[in-house]
Amino acid sequence: MAFLVPLACLSVYFHYQFHVTLTETGKLNLVAIAESQRNTVDLFLQERMSNLFALFNSNAFSTRPTQQQMESLLRQLRQASDAFIDVGLLTDSGLQTGYAGPFPYLQNKNYRDQSWFVELMSSQKVNYISDIYLGFRNKPHFTIAVKQVIEHHPYIIRSTIDPDKFYLFLKTINHVKGVESSLINSEGRYQLTPPRSKSSQDTSEYIPDPDAPPGAHMIHTSEDPTLIAHVWLTEVHWALLVSEPLSIAYAQLYRVRRIMVISSALILLAVAVAIWLATHTLIARARENAEKREELTNQLLHASKLASLGEMATGVAHEINNPLAIIVATAGLIKDMLNPEFNSNWTADQILPEIKTIEDAAFRAKKITQQLLNYGYKTPTQMVPTNINTILEEVLGGLKERSLGLSDIIVKREFDTALPTVPADPDQIRQVFLNLINNAGDAIHGPGQITVTTRQDEFSVRISVTDTGKGMSSELIKKIFDPFFTTKDVGKGTGLGLSVSVSIVESMGGTIEVQSLPGAGSAFTVTLPKKRALRG
């Protein structure tokens, strides 16, 4: 029940979300259809206006056209689209001085009182598309008109678009079964609609807000509830309405929902059996993987230690060489003191100080060797209250600071003496600081300085290792924490130091940050929390 009850609740929740999502998807799909049709209709209208503008540049165009010239212009229009019914040329007074089409009585008609003519002449617009209207011919039609100034006088070429051909075009671009499209103006009157259902004077039941973005809404009618989407055209202030009955729009939703209910029941049953059989196996595998991961982390840490030991070889050899030289020299002196050939009467009190010198040098070499042995040992992870300043002194005060001194690198300490203890593994955090100090030393070529700073805030302790080395670019900073990535020469670096350090610090709940600029040195900052649940 502990597994199945939450799973059942999730199943119910996802079924609900699926219903909401698929419902919204149906709306978005209808909006997408509307937007696609809108773009096609806008393109259709743009092309028709371009056809009219092109007549101004036609060889048959004249400001005082003959009937033959007007007939030629009409043929050009109909070659572009059979939706054109006629064509006419108007002067700025509204008089139609040229006409070609099925209504010859429109020749010399004056359109100065027509709303489309008044608006086109009184504005800066060079084109106009009218709402559907009856006009002089007493038959529903659209007027498309374009204006151009010729010899300081505006002339207008107007043409009529056949609503039936326009609707046929709208129908051909709709390839979705059950979806119907129509056009309405800002007042909600149909401009284009299936002839069998509406007339041009009918008003839509749904009038979208002119400022509303494209969207879809549900309309409840006496027949079947309908989903309707709207978009506004860009070429003329009409809204394109795309409608689809819910029984068609959500048919897939209803079918998929039934399948999901049955599938969910079967899945719950299968999951119950699978959980019952697989729980113990999964737990065993998880424990095995955790142990392998911990072992791999320890191996990487140990490998990093050994790599650090190799980098410290020069300093170690120098440190051990000094006491050995003292032992050899003092042993030779004692040998001379005891040689009978020199006839020297050395007493025991005179020889004992020399033996003490040998003993001190041997203990010094032993201490150095013990430091190396202690550093190289594998130790189990143990989170205990740790004094960071003490750990840093152990790292710097031993072999490392003397090794850096041989390279003419000064180590500067800026410790917060009131630093509290933090929960950490001493051996592992010691390795982190040694890796950072090693990298700082390697980044300095020639004389330089490494500054180690500790400070605290309310929640954490921050340790910074800053060098005066060559610095790094932003591209290089992105890679330095990757395993096996190193900028050192072949044989001088393993590429494990920083990646292991990040793993150690993050396991203690902390972070490592880096700031660097080419030629300006680098600063690595380790942040450790003051409080953390201790692990055994």
Q: Confidence class of residue 523 from pLDDT cuts 50, 70 and 90?
A: very high
Q: Confidence class of residue 199 from pLDDT cuts 50, 70 and 90?
A: very low
Residue 266 has pLDDT above 70, yes or no: yes
pLDDT tens digit string along 239-254? 888 888 877 766 776 6
Query: Which of 179-188, 274-283, 307-316 comes out lowest in average pLDDT?
Result: 307-316
What stretches of 396-522 show up as alpha helix (H) in DSSP? 401-406, 426-443, 474-477, 497-507
Extract the tokens encoding 200: 């041009």
User: How far apart, in whole angstroms, are the C-alpha atoms of residue 168 and residue 431?
Assistant: 80
Over range 13-30, report the average pLDDT.
Answer: 77
The values of phi and psi at residue 182, to 5°, are -155, 165
Higher pLDDT, 457 or 257: 457
Over range 316-340, report the average pLDDT.
Answer: 72
Over range 74-82, report the average pLDDT.
Answer: 93
User: How far apart, in whole angstroms, are the C-alpha atoms of residue 323 and residue 325?
Assistant: 5
Q: Confidence class of residue 303 from pLDDT cuts 50, 70 and 90?
A: low
Query: Which of 255-269, 289-303, 341-355, 406-420 comes out lowest in average pLDDT?
Result: 289-303
Residue 335 has pLDDT above 50, yes or no: yes
Residue 310 has pLDDT above 70, yes or no: no
Over range 123-134, report the average pLDDT.
Answer: 89
Over range 173-195, report the average pLDDT.
Answer: 79
Q: What is the pLDDT of residue 20?
A: 76
Query: Which of 44-58, 183-197, 428-442 comes out lowest in average pLDDT?
Result: 183-197
Residue 273 has pLDDT above 70, yes or no: yes
- 24-28, 143-147, 299-303, 469-473, range with greatest mean pLDDT: 143-147
The 10 Å Cβ neighbour count of residue 180 is 18
pLDDT tens digit string along 383-403? 889 999 998 888 887 567 777
Helix axes 67-80, 4-55, angle to 10 degrees: 160
- 72-76, 430-434, 444-448, range with greatest mean pLDDT: 72-76
Q: What is the pLDDT of residue 61?
A: 92
226-232/238-245 β-pairing? antiparallel
Partner residues linked to 467 by β-bridges: 450, 522
Q: What is the pLDDT of residue 200?
A: 46
Residue 17 has pLDDT above 80, yes or no: no
3-state secondary structure of 90: strand
pTM for the full model?
0.46
Question: Whose CA is closest to 179, among 222, 215, 223, 229?
Answer: 229
What stretches of 486-535 show up as alpha helix (H) in DSSP? 497-507
Residue 68 has pLDDT above 80, yes or no: yes
Q: What is the pLDDT of residue 430?
A: 85
Distance of CA 410 to the CA centre of its chain: 44
Residue 371 has pLDDT above 60, yes or no: no
Segment (H or E) for 315: helix 313-337
Residue 165 has pLDDT above 50, yes or no: yes
**């982390």: which residue's tokens?**
297
- 199-203, 243-247, 360-364, range with greatest mean pLDDT: 243-247
Residue 117 has pLDDT above 90, yes or no: yes
Over range 143-160, report the average pLDDT.
Answer: 93
User: How far apart, in whole angstroms, are the C-alpha atoms of residue 385 and residue 420?
Assistant: 9
Residue 78 has pLDDT above 60, yes or no: yes
Extract the tokens encoding 375: 């550093």
Question: Whose CA is closest to 70, among 48, 86, 57?
Answer: 86
What stretches of 338-445 show up as alpha helix (H) in DSSP? 348-376, 388-395, 401-406, 426-443
3-state secondary structure of 181: strand
Burial class (CB in 10 A: 0-12, 13-18, 19+), 9: exposed
Q: Confidence class of residue 534 from pLDDT cuts 50, 70 and 90?
A: very low
Residue 222 has pLDDT above 60, yes or no: no
**Strand positions, DSSP E, 38-178:** 84-90, 96-100, 127-129, 142-150, 153-161
Average pLDDT of the residues of the chain: 81
Angle at 84 between CA 82 and CA 90, to 5 degrees: 155
Over range 459-475, report the average pLDDT.
Answer: 89
Using only the alpha carbons of the chain, give its radius of gyration. 46
Extract the tokens encoding 304: 């990093």
Q: What's the half-sphere exposure (Cβ side, CA atoms, 13 Å) at 4? A: 14
Over range 257-283, report the average pLDDT.
Answer: 79
